Chain A
């Protein structure tokens, strides 16, 4: 990769462009710009916060919550930069012990090199550490001649939610890298594939090269200010953390990590992940009505923008969606000819009124040739929980008649790629077999 593409762009675009481009040249440029003399974190010899041994980290790779930044409301904030690598497995079938050790050593070295997220600092304001998650698709297990109970093939997943199976992503595995420091996501990728000798002063004796090849590289950003900068749609509020204009990830719209953790079987302690690349028709979304209209379609007709704020910024830790809102859905359809996205998804919550899927990425894509795509990743105990949730967005699931463009937000979304993963517990993450 060349850093030539970084020349001539505004400083504001620099880091996210560097992450999208990737490579050692982008890494060097990004580090110089992002970790300058006045803002460098004390890294104990390196330029990023130092890591720790794997034994001190959570059992589940997906257990990020304690290591994310928490806002004043207590909600977690996803790191700003994300790199999602679609991988092809090129190792032995079945994997050898040496290959497993190689993968584990590479990932453990990364954890030793840089801090796991915020390090658990409850009042951290910046996630200048790194969070990772490696998951495997049914294609990987197919190649090993086995299958995973909680997992569906990407084609069947798409079919089950009424989407075109042509959009199945052909990955064997997916690696997530995310941090508030774009340079750290690039550096981690470069180190894992041996394109730099080490990271943060730590040498990588083992890498993922020869075991995984990167076939798809998706990057994205999330967070207040970044989204409005990234998308070419002037109606996106400057303070909006997501392109459709509203905050997400409220405590009541996210289940606990324990609730999405597989509790029995060979992948106990792990989880499943649904990974998608979606397109949003933002022009049509913002032309479809004013703020009140969009608020009602995103939440429910009872939500008032005066009360919740332009970006839902006046809400606290909860979305204010209640069982009453769910019970009122048919009435809302009749009276308002409109129902809300959150309202619909709340209708399939569990007996404790907890949602089924935990969102881990809704980042606006920075690698897409055209605006506006975004990376959607959720984790859940069983991929069927994702299917149930996704189906709850579809108008045909409901008995009432409401125009598609008034039926939550689904009419403004288009799926461009999707797959499903099992994300093993940390101790099982290296080339699992059944």
Chain B
């Protein structure tokens, strides 16, 4: 059993909730105070040369991208997975070179996760194979060496979400698996209009970090052999304890609520989540200060009304399940009601129809103080050659009432058969760039070309070892707005995003930053200047880098 959480942490959690309820609106107002969202493909220029190798693969491939600053030099490095072997790309100041820090594995892996499992401030790495033992690699000050962490064998892992589930100060692990299309068909594919309590995928596992190795926990309430495609571990019930949100293929999403006594209660969310859940991205998308969950799905506007009967039948036959099953409901924005229940508001927020979505990111691309949205899109077929937007990544800008879909091709994003996707500031210029992992194709780096001189701030709250303090809450307050970020491991479908927090400040000028660490420690840093990345620790604030401003930006 996982240890009971301490009373002190619960008190802190309650205080956090209270603070959240009394603060002014989190969103920056949705006004157009930022620059024009746009990107430029700089893949060749920056040296991230990697291609996915589907090898006639079944299912959805392994094209994934995982971000961590593995050498603690202030530049996010990138692990690419899906090719003949994983490759770690060292970020050498805004350019990438193949790193020798990773032992050479001459085989494919299914997915990966960066996690500082020994809490030494250096991100360790787990490489997850399709069948076989998990490869644990200890990060020895920037160089990886094989380690035995007791994770055992896995079958079809799509990823692992780290968090300190039992509040003992050591990071635990939720490893999620799908079924294997090579072996079988999801049970839910034969029951397209219902959800299944008993599915035929592979089990998810909870591992407890007992210091030195992980132990698989059998009686924590993690049950159900589903086809899990994405999961993340973060507090969604405002009690300070990390819960687990799992998006499942051909079934319902599941929320595992952390009960604080080492167990989880399983909530099958049903309703709008009874579909193909293909990502998990956590952010306040509704503007109510609670953290919502964006999950991609399939929805293509195929109708007898916009094409001939023959064309319609042709498309329908090609992917029957994709069009007219009860599961193709489009993306969902699971708006958090604060008690572990959710209501889907994707349609009213304008992000429901996104083609065939995969990994997603919600970040402030134009630094205007609110989060925009992007997701990778499976390139299926052009429904309309005059407006082929569903073969492009989906991009939305936050507006006053919701989100406005932007034409990706007009924003520098090409047609891509996307799967994994991350946002990061790879060139440390203060804006959010994107790396896309394409199915059977080259990975791409899209530099954010936002031209505004709008202020922004990046941060990372760290623990005493310098590692990212998962579960820490960072509140950035200016004169007109407050933004609250809970640090978590940022895992998604075959992706793990940067641990560096990013907020646009929309002209706020200097801000106040308050950090609440998981152990209840709280510190406030006043009069923090924008346009820098800061490292926040209980001992103080430290500038990591400063960003160009004005016409230097871009």
Contact = CB atoms under 8 A, between A and B. Distances in A.
Interface of A is mostly: loop
A36 B309 CA distance: 9
Nearest to A183: B310
A74 B189 contact: no
Contacts of B417: 121-123
Interface in A126-185: 126, 128, 180-181
Interface string A108-135: 0000000000000111111010000000
Contacts of B307: 36-39
A316 B184 contact: yes
Given A123-B417, A224-B320, A309-B190, A73 B311 contact: no
Interface in B367-413: 378-385, 388
A411 interface: no
A42 B180 contact: no
Interface in A21-65: 33-42, 65
B58 interface: yes
A314 interface: yes
B315 A40 contact: no
Interface string B36-73: 00000000000000000010111111000000000000
A120 to B, nearest CB: 9
B4 interface: no
Nearest to B200: A314
A123 B182 contact: no
A122 B308 contact: no
Contact of B318 (A34, A65, A126, A313): A126
Nearest to A313: B185
Nearest to B184: A316
Contact of A122 (B54, B182, B385): B54
B306 interface: yes
A221 to B, nearest CB: 10
Interface string B299-319: 000000011111111111111
B525 interface: no
Nearest to A180: B314
A313 B56 contact: no
A316 B180 contact: yes
A223 B313 CA distance: 12
A149 B5 CA distance: 78
B317 A39 contact: no
B183 interface: yes
B440 interface: yes
Contacts of B311: 33-36, 38-39
Contact of A314 (B190, B316, B388): B190
B317 A225 contact: yes
B316 to A, nearest CB: 8
Contact of A73 (B182, B385, B440): B182
Interface in B470-507: none
A126 B310 contact: no
B439 interface: yes
Contacts of A73: 58-59, 181-182, 185
A48 B182 CA distance: 32
A80 interface: yes
A169 B115 CA distance: 67
Nearest to B441: A122
A346 interface: no
A93 B235 CA distance: 81
A36 B60 CA distance: 30
B278 to A, nearest CB: 13
Contact of B181 (A65, A123, A317): A317
A39 B311 CA distance: 6
Contacts of B440: 121-123
Interface in B415-472: 417, 439-440
Interface in A66-83: 66, 69-75, 80
Interface string B154-192: 000000000000000000000000001111110101100
A162 B362 CA distance: 67
A318 B439 contact: no
Interface stretch (A7-15, A208-216, A322-330, A385-393): A7-15
Interface centre among B59, B185, B307, B380 (most CB of A within 10 A): B185
Contact of A74 (B181, B313, B385): B181
A316 B314 contact: no
Given A12-B309, A34-B314, A125-B319, A41 B185 contact: no
Contacts of B182: 73-74, 251, 316-318
A256 B384 CA distance: 36
A70 B380 CA distance: 12
A40 B385 contact: yes
30 contacts: A14-B310, A15-B310, A15-B314, A38-B307, A38-B308, A38-B383, A39-B308, A39-B384, A40-B385, A41-B381, A41-B382, A42-B388, A71-B58, A72-B59, A72-B60, A73-B58, A80-B314, A121-B417, A122-B54, A123-B54, A123-B378, A123-B440, A126-B381, A225-B317, A225-B320, A226-B317, A313-B190, A316-B181, A316-B183, A316-B184
Given A33-B309, A122-B417, A123-B54, 10 more contacts: A34-B311, A36-B307, A70-B56, A71-B58, A73-B182, A74-B57, A74-B59, A122-B56, A224-B317, A316-B58
Interface of B: 54, 56-61, 180-185, 187, 189-190, 306-320, 378-385, 388, 417, 439-440
